[in-house]
Amino acid sequence: MLFSEQVGLMMSQSSFEQIFIVVFSISILKFIIILCLPYFIFWKWFSKYFWNQKIQQIPRTEPCVSMEIRYSILTLFIQSLFLTALVWGSQLNYFKLYPGFGTQGVASEIVGFFTYFILYDTYFYWSHRFLHQGWFYKNIHIIHHQSLNPTPFASYSFHPIETVITIFYMLPFVFFVPISYEMFFVLLVLTDVGNLVGHLGYEFLPRKVYHSKLGGWLTTPTHHNMHHQFSKSNFGLYWRGWDKYFKTLHVKTESEFYRIKDQKDSVSSPAS
């Protein structure tokens, strides 16, 4: 039995406290694997091998990284409580999470998969723009934007209120869309990886992919990194379409991407 299947079966038969222990334990593993490991690989141990693909050639200060870590841990705790409530609520038939991948048909899982990302991308764009308005930006979203040159730890460096706003989308999703615990687990992991990529601080996407029909509509690490630098543009998460249509795409997004690719091609190692 796959790990995700074991977790799904166990969660469907557990108390709120037991579910929380499992969810928070997974969150700790996520913190280590998706945040800590990439940080040490790309920003510490092997940074000299990747420096020419770094988006901003600006050193980070330890106090700023420490702040990102503190808020990330708080975010993961709040997320764990929220996800526990969703799973527990599913046991009481309030939500449509169920154990066993494909129990209600593989087609249902596929529909749930694409529905999640299409609607979440939409929700993210508009909630993100909302968080840039007046009081919400100055008192809530500013925490995230203190990371002008984000590291992987910035992926979840949010004010608690922003954490709730960001994750709230999952409530109506599991209320209306039937999906297995296993697929839901996969969706959460992919969401975390996508969040990491946007805050990694490095641009690894090949020119060829970026220049393709599909690549021309997808966001890249450069896209979101520029949002941290300039804040009033590039609000999209996965798809650049919202930014293009509502004219919030930074005019230098494409040229900045190619600048980093040229930087990689022209220099192979840092000056000693």
pLDDT in tens, 188-231: 999 999 899 999 989 888 888 888 878 778 889 999 999 998 88
Q: For the CA atoms of 140, 237, 86, 32, what is the dihedral angle to 10 degrees?
A: -80
- Average confidence score pLDDT of the chain: 87
Q: Is the pLDDT of residue 271 over 50?
A: no
Amino acid sitting at position 152: P
Largest CA distance in the chain: 62
Q: pTM (2 decimals)?
A: 0.84
143 contacts 229 by C-beta, under 8 angstroms:
no
35 contacts 72 by C-beta, under 8 angstroms:
yes
Contact partners, residue 8, CB within 8 Å, separation at least 6: 99, 100, 101, 180, 181, 182, 185
Q: Is the pLDDT of residue 24 over 90?
A: yes
Q: Is the pLDDT of residue 81 over 50?
A: yes
Check residue 272 and give its pLDDT.
34
Rounded Cα distance between 124 and 26, Å, is 24
Average pLDDT on 246-257 reads: 90
Q: Is the pLDDT of residue 58 over 90?
A: no
Average pLDDT on 97-102 reads: 84
Q: Is the pLDDT of residue 266 over 90?
A: no
**Phi and psi dihedrals of 239, rounded to 5?**
-115, 130
User: In 154-212, which ranges are E strands?
Assistant: 179-180
Higher-pLDDT residue of 68 and 1 is 68
Confidence of residue 5 (pLDDT cuts 50, 70, 90): low
Half-sphere exposure (CA, 13 Å, Cβ side) for 163?
21
